[in-house]
Structure 1
Amino acid sequence: MPGLAPAITLTHSHVTSSASNWVFFPSFLQGLVHKGDMAVLPENASATGMNVSHAPIAKSPSNLTVGFLILMSFLVGAATNGLFLWVLGLKMKRTVNTLWFSHLILAYLIFCLLLPVFAVHSFQGFQWVFGTVMCKLINTFGSLAMFTNVFLLTIISLDRYLLTYHPVWSQYNRTIPRAQRLVLGVWLVSLILSAPYLAFRETQEVEGHIKCVNNYALFSSWDGAKVHLAFFVVRFLLSFLIPCVMITSCYYWMFKEMKKKNLVRTGKPFKVLVAAVASFFLCYVPYHLYYASLLITGVPEMLKQVMWSVMAVAACFNFCFTPILYVFVGEKFQQVFKTSVVALLKKGFVDAANMSGDKTNTGEEDQINHNSSLEMPPP
């Protein structure tokens, strides 16, 4: 998820170099950094850099706590997502379901690999130390992972709906080549929607500290505030509102069908549907609420700090811990996962000479191949 670090938005009125005096940042930017780290542009400073001394930033306990949380999320998320991707890609039969989930886990893994940068950023008191290129790339890849995650969850929901209400049509049209083309389209659209970060994101010296900021006033003719609003509205519609309506609608009609067939009484299918919708809301509502607050003046600083903390926790949970739910929700995936991991661990402790003639190992591999025909459960 892009922008884990508190964001600063620069509009044209704040970056034009023709003004004789620089003004304070608008009130809706207060609270994006801690007190004593408020972004104020000094007099006669240039838009791309300021000749000021680099004063040290005080590292508060909250910054260290958030950084530690992000770092722990990286360790857990990279390990679990890597294992899940290995199982999906090598230990399970190639199906439409495994294709959906392998790319979904890949999106999770991409974001997890970005977390060390955000952890260091938090440890440094939200001072950016990685340069302009990394400022652009990190936020672009974070946005790519977010859009891909949302789009794939929407596709999976639609896929489950079609399987429930149009099984005959799905049988003849739900093929791996078509699914592959659809997944490729998802990645391309996500990349296009994330590309603006390559233009808007840049490093600025703010009160002697380097910040990775959004500059929506790239040209003198642009109204930075309007560009910022348009950028937020597009992202909100495409990455939350429209997918949310589609996912909720799909699971609502699926629930009605399950209720009609008395499947709700079994408990587990209903819990799967509730968990899927609830996780989507819990992980993405804080993100969009926080960035909506940047457009509103008069929001208290303390409230924004709390909103940012909730957003960071939700992002880490979504991309690092949500995939673990697949093990508990999907019995078939859990069976293949356990068998694969046990076989992998045994191979690591068996001599190379014994591995070639180990009948037990062969039996485990046969079990893995047998289980690989099993499909993934709904999210």
Structure 2
Amino acid sequence: MDTSNMSILLENSSVRGMNVSTSHFPAAIKPLNLFIACFVSVSFLVGTTVNGLFLWVLGVKMKRTINTLWFLHLILIHLISSSYMPFFVAYILLGSHWAFGKALCKVLNFSSSLGMFTTVFLLTIVSLDRYLLTCHPIWSQHNRTISRAQKLITGTWLVSFALSAPYLFFRETQETTEGKIQCVNNYALSNNWEAVEMQAFRNHIHLVFFVVRVLLAFVIPLFIIAGCYYSIGWKMKKKKLTRTGKPFKVLTAAVASFFICWFPYHLSQASLVFQASEQMVKFLQLMSIIGVCLNFCFTPVLYLFVGEKFQQVFKTSVLALLQKGFADASIIPEGNINPSEEVHHCVS
């Protein structure tokens, strides 16, 4: 794989060869593996329940607006990514043995990558949308339509699909000397991909895909989103606005959660590419597993609590809280919009 959820666990042997546990299969479940399996199981239950509820509210109970459209697809990605966690729980409990065949190995790996790319691209688009709403409200009023938003979302899915498609070819299953089946990346696309003469080529392809992934799924979106927030903050300071509404806080929580939760994953992949110590690799993989689960399964819970008093959350319906959080409104009050200043009042 190269992205998302527990696929990280499946990638241990794709760079360092097939040096897996020497214990006989089936192996006794180690305490750390049991903890990870329990954590992923809880993440699955929370993720499917919360994301499923939010998806129903956004899709059925709320009026369709551009903002609800963004988050409808974001929550859909979270739900899909949460739904296949039981496969990885089984993988862990079976002692790193993949029992579900090559086809599912490829599909889940592809889906994981698709989830990561689509999530970060959507968050970047939503941040740009919020920037335009705030800094160019007149332009947004005339050009911001649901049909254009739908086209952007369709384009996002297609681009993410294209970036994830190579992993349908790279992912393979391979039997180890211990009789286990591993689901790993065959970057050499060769039947003899463990041969010494293929190592340099395989590592080179792995490095290329790692750089592309970290740039497109982390670094570049981070700079774009940071620029949007800087411009919004500058505008708010200029207008002497010290308070922001719940929609902006929900977006901030979503963005912050993504980059905080996915940072250990990219560090983990870097540790594999650049041959870090075994202890460092294992630690970063554990952090990346926890981070990805938190992002897909627990972040949506923040949407209820952000911008609200803790006690008030339990006195308000989920529908009312989501309506406040996903309201399609500019951060700048309408009374503060001056059409003649629009081309000057934002930082480029």
Structure-1-length-normalised TM-score: 0.75
Distance in 2 of aligned mates of 1:225 and 1:104:
33
Distance in 2 of aligned mates of 1:330 and 1:96:
21
1:310 matched to 2:287? The reply is: yes
Between 134-143 and 118-127, the greater mean CA deviation after superposition: 118-127
Residues 131 and 203, structure 1, Cα contact 8 Å, conserved in 2: yes
Match 2:22 to one of 36, 57, 78: 36
Distance in 1 of aligned mates of 2:246 and 2:78:
25
1:230 matched to 2:201? The reply is: no
Which residue identity lines up with residue 317 of structure 1 in the other structure? Answer: L
Structure 1 partner of 2:176: 206
1:73 matched to 2:56? The reply is: no
Residues 10 and 217, structure 1, Cα contact 8 Å, conserved in 2: no
1:118 matched to 2:118? The reply is: no
Shift in CA distance, 177/102, structure 1 to aligned 2, threshold 3 Å: same
Distance in 2 of aligned mates of 1:270 and 1:172:
21
Distance in 2 of aligned mates of 1:377 and 1:190:
28
Structure 2 partner of 1:284: 262
Residues 250 and 303, structure 2, Cα contact 8 Å, conserved in 1: no
1:90 matched to 2:76? The reply is: no
Distance in 2 of aligned mates of 1:8 and 1:264:
47
1:56-71 alignment to 2 at 5 Å?
A: 56-71=26-41
Shift in CA distance, 174/167, structure 1 to aligned 2, threshold 3 Å: same
Distance in 2 of aligned mates of 1:266 and 1:156:
16
Distance in 1 of aligned mates of 2:246 and 2:68:
21
Distance in 2 of aligned mates of 1:178 and 1:157:
16
1:325 matched to 2:302? The reply is: yes
Deviations 1:228-283 (Å, cap 9, x if unpaired)?
A: 11111111111111111111111121112222222235797886676444323211
Shift in CA distance, 94/330, structure 1 to aligned 2, threshold 3 Å: farther
Which residue identity lines up with residue 316 of structure 1 in the other structure? Answer: C
Specify the SS of the correspondent of 1:55. Answer: coil
Shift in CA distance, 259/267, structure 1 to aligned 2, threshold 3 Å: farther
Distance in 1 of aligned mates of 2:239 and 2:187:
53
Residues 66 and 149, structure 2, Cα contact 8 Å, conserved in 1: yes
- Matched residues, number: 314
Residues 57 and 124, structure 1, Cα contact 8 Å, conserved in 2: yes
Distance in 1 of aligned mates of 2:49 and 2:38:
17
Which residue identity lines up with residue 152 of structure 2 in the other structure? Answer: L
Specify the SS of the correspondent of 1:213. Answer: strand
Structure 2 partner of 1:20: none
1:218 matched to 2:204? The reply is: no
Residues 78 and 296, structure 2, Cα contact 8 Å, conserved in 1: yes
Distance in 2 of aligned mates of 1:64 and 1:167:
52
Distance in 2 of aligned mates of 1:7 and 1:252:
37
Shift in CA distance, 83/10, structure 1 to aligned 2, threshold 3 Å: closer
Q: Unpaired runs of 5+ in structure 2?
A: 331-348
Structure 2 partner of 1:359: none
Structure possessing the higher radius of gyration over alpha carbons = 1
Shift in CA distance, 274/190, structure 1 to aligned 2, threshold 3 Å: closer
Structure-2-length-normalised TM-score: 0.82
Shift in CA distance, 160/216, structure 1 to aligned 2, threshold 3 Å: same
Distance in 2 of aligned mates of 1:340 and 1:273:
17
Shift in CA distance, 151/264, structure 1 to aligned 2, threshold 3 Å: same
Distance in 2 of aligned mates of 1:321 and 1:98:
19
Deviations 1:59-115 (Å, cap 9, x if unpaired)?
A: 211111101100100000100000000110111111100100000000000100011
Shift in CA distance, 92/268, structure 1 to aligned 2, threshold 3 Å: closer
Deviations 1:127-153 (Å, cap 9, x if unpaired)?
A: 111111110011111111111111100
Residues 200 and 216, structure 1, Cα contact 8 Å, conserved in 2: yes
Which residue identity lines up with residue 92 of structure 2 in the other structure? Answer: S
Specify the SS of the correspondent of 2:240. Answer: coil
1:132-281 alignment to 2 at 5 Å?
A: 132-208=102-178, 209-219=180-190, 223-264=201-242, 275-281=253-259
Residues 77 and 109, structure 1, Cα contact 8 Å, conserved in 2: yes
Q: Unpaired runs of 5+ in structure 1?
A: 12-24, 38-53, 342-367
Structure 1 partner of 2:11: 7
Residues 71 and 115, structure 1, Cα contact 8 Å, conserved in 2: yes
Shift in CA distance, 250/155, structure 1 to aligned 2, threshold 3 Å: same
Deviation at 1:301, TM superposition (A): 1.4
Residues 85 and 105, structure 1, Cα contact 8 Å, conserved in 2: yes
Match 2:317 to one of 338, 350, 355: 338
Distance in 1 of aligned mates of 2:149 and 2:186:
38
RMSD, aligned α-carbons: 3.1
Shift in CA distance, 180/138, structure 1 to aligned 2, threshold 3 Å: same
Which residue identity lines up with residue 338 of structure 1 in the other structure? Answer: S
Residues 98 and 182, structure 2, Cα contact 8 Å, conserved in 1: yes
Identity level (%): 52
